[in-house]
Structure 1
Amino acid sequence: MQAWQVHRNGEPSEVMELAEIERPVPGDGQVLLRVRAANINFPDALMCRGHYQVRPPMPFTPGVEICGETEDGRRVLANPALPHGGFAEYAVADEAALLPAPDSLDDAEAAALHIGYQTGWFGLHRRANLQAGETLLVHAAAGGVGSAAVQLGKAAGATVIGVVGGEEKTKVARDLGCDVVIDRRAQDVIAAVKESTGGRGADVIYDPVGGEAYTQSTKVVAFEGRIVVVGFASGTIPSPSLNHALVKNYAILGLHWGLYNTKDPKLVAHCHEQLTGLAARGAIKPLISERVPLGGASAAVQRVADGVTTGRVAVVPGHEGAGE
């Protein structure tokens, strides 16, 4: 089969190599899956660089989120068991963690319903307890993680402020349903948030960026507000001033979705049921900005790493076109 492999750390476009290898052999409790679509996540780029907390043995195949097909024909969502990741024709995954792919979504959309939307659901509902009528601010609102949070926030009845970088992403955020869109490249984010909220600030702030975005969050969080720390796409991990959190009376909430798979897997299944229901009624629908063939995976992972994509980019083995 064909699979992308990483033999050394570096930029994805430089270290990902397409090779002909044997199909992976499932271990105890694992199943072999034919990859129908693999969604590109920022951690795929971090693993190529050697900067992710998970460091699979080399050579490894990136791709942590797929829609696959079991040998008995079931269409499922899975997180492949590394080093046999999803940017390949076949992958392996733990059978106990498989989730049924929603009938309302195609393969690429289904693959994208997993990590980003689970993270959003746990972050907004389990951690921050977002309520209808509250104001939600989402950093990187046009990206894969941010776009999921925007849709989930709207579905929960929140007023959503999206922060993006550039005109193209501004349009994407508006189309996603943001009530207010702030272009951080052209506007003062802090002033714009305060103006749009009448000086009150945002009740919940969803931050997959870190760095300057986190600093801005601390200046626009409302009384009894909650900042949900999801990741550090900026490359800068902030050092929060706890005296500031005390004086302004806000909460800083960490979210590591992967822990729920080991600590409370039943809650992951419950979340998937909620997401499947939302998708069935059209309240959420993953934004797939590109569908690329397997041969285009390396360049696509690099684009995600460079922050120039919107929504999700999916690798679809056998797909002839390079986008839509």
Structure 2
Amino acid sequence: MKAIVCNEFGLPSSLEFTEIENPIPNKDEVLMAVKACSVNFPDTLIIQGKYQFKPNFPFSPGSDVAGVIESVGENVKHLKVGDEVVGFIPFGGFAEMAIVKAKDCFPKPVGMSMVNASTFLLAYGTSYHALKDRTNLQKGETILILGASGGVGLTAIELAKLIGAKVIAAASSDDKLKLCKEFGADELINYTKENLKEKTKVLTNGKGVDVIYDPVGGDFSELALRAIAWNGRHLVIGFANGEIPKIPTNLALLKGASIVGVFWGAFAQREPKKSLENIKQLLNWFGQGKLKPHIDEIYSLENAPKALEAMMQRKTKGKIVIDMTI
């Protein structure tokens, strides 16, 4: 099979497009013929050795996969060869074949394209886990979403609006904010032109925001936290800015606020029943037309390093996908 292979930690340009042997599933796994794999920010970290874990070389990046089951392990009963499925893996998705644990593999809804399916689990799973399980966002509350035009940011807008919250979307350009508005954002902040803290205070009549959804990090984390409401919750999603913030913890004390970590991958492994319930709800909403992934660009497998470069340069809006069929 063809695959994008990481032989040493480095930038996307160091990745190799090559032929490797097909992997073999064990008794609790399936072998998926990958049709599409979306690109997520952790993919850019894992190839540089900057992620929470470091795979053994050689490996392929890519975690959100959609495809057709090629073979199943002897213990797998709920899936069969030929099933169209979506799955989540720690790495290995930028390849024509991938091993997926059976418990992390789900039937693809009828009518959902492979490209859309590959964008679903990580982005929507992260945002729903954050808003439902980690902060219990309520109807009528106000949420500030940083990096709101990104892959997880847009899903957070959609889900927050489904819950009934007021959404303030913050992004780095007017073009990105236009897309956020189309996805339902109530208010907009261009934090390259406006002071994030001051504009947030103005938009909330001085009260501050109840929830901060923060996949960006860097200096923006502290600015946002300074505009949080009493008993507010600051969700730590990731660090797309490239810098882990050093937040003065007295800010949490003064506002009675909580700083809450969100790690969907660990949640899915540690609390599989709750995670499955969330996934079923998300897929149901998709089937009802309430969730619509935004695909910014599609790349071939051979050009996957270019997709990773675009992600690192923060050029993308919504999701970018590797399509194995082109």
Deviates more, 1:306-315 or 1:181-190: 181-190
Contact 2:212 2:225 (8 Å CA) reproduced? no
- Asked whether the equivalents of residues 137 and 162 of structure 1 are also in contact (C-alpha less than 8 Å), the reply is yes
- Corresponding residue number in structure 2 for 1:322: none
1-structure distance, mates of 2:62, 2:179: 25
Output the CA distance in 1 between the equivalents of 2:303 and 2:129. 32
**Aligned to 1:49, what secondary structure does the other structure show?**
coil
- Equivalent of 2:305, from 289, 293, 298? 298
Return the alpha-carbon distance in structure 2 between the equivalents of residues 153 and 186 of structure 1: 25
5 Å matches for 1:167-316? 167-316=174-323
What is the CA-CA distance between 1:227 and the residue it aligns to? 0.5
Shift of 1:181: 1.3
CA 1:18–1:253: 2 relative to 1, 3 Å: same
Rounded to whole Å, the distance in 2 between the matches of 1:103 and 1:137 is 34
Give 4+ residue runs of structure 1 displaced > 3 Å after superposition. none
Q: CA deviation at 1:49?
A: 1.0
**Is residue 62–residue 94 contact of structure 2 (8 Å, CA) maintained in 1?**
yes
* Aligned residue in 1 for 2:34: 35
* CA gap 1:104/1:213 in 2 versus in 1, 3 angstroms: farther
| Mapped pair 1:108 → 2:107 | no
Paired with 1:152 and 1:32, the residues of 2 have a C-alpha distance of 32
Instruction: Identify which range, 277-286 or 54-63, moves more after superposition.
Output: 277-286
1:155 offset after TM fit, Å? 0.9
> Which residue number corresponds to residue 83 of structure 2?
74
Is this contact kept in 2: 1:65–1:111, CA < 8 A? yes
* Cα distance in 2, alignment partners of residues 81 and 200 from structure 1: 40
The residue identity in structure 1 corresponding to 2:7 is H
> Distance between the aligned counterparts of 1:7 and 1:53, measured in 2?
18
Q: Give the equivalent residue in structure 1 for 2:46.
A: 47
The equivalent of 2:3 in structure 1 is 3
**2:226 alignment partner, SS class:** helix
Letter of the structure 2 residue corresponding to residue 260 of structure 1: F
Pairs aligned (count): 316
Task: Report deviation, 1:81.
Answer: 5.5
1:113–1:286 CA contact under 8 A, matched in 2: yes
Kept after mapping to 2: 8 A contact 1:99/1:269: no
Task: Name the counterpart of 2:171.
Answer: 164
Q: 1:3-152 counterparts in 2 under 5 A?
A: 3-12=3-12, 14-71=13-70, 72-80=81-89, 82=91, 85-152=92-159
Q: How far did residue 27 of structure 1 move?
A: 2.5
Q: Name the CA shift for 1:213/1:134 in 2 (closer, same or farther; >3 Å).
A: same
Cα distance, 1:298 vs structure 2: 0.9
Give the Å deviation of 1:241: 2.5
Distance in 2 (alpha carbons) for counterparts of 1:37 and 1:176: 24
Inter-partner Cα distance in structure 2 for 1:318 and 1:243: 52
Task: Give me the TM-score of the superposition, normalised by structure 1.
Answer: 0.94
1:70-119 per-position Cα deviation (integer Å, ceiling 9, x unaligned): 1211111112364xx11111111111221222224211111111011111
Would you say the 8 A contact 1:67–1:107 is kept in 2?
Answer: yes
**RMSD after superposition:** 1.2
The CA deviation string for residues 34-81 of structure 1, in whole angstroms up to 9 with x for no partner, is 111101011111011111112111111111111121121111111236
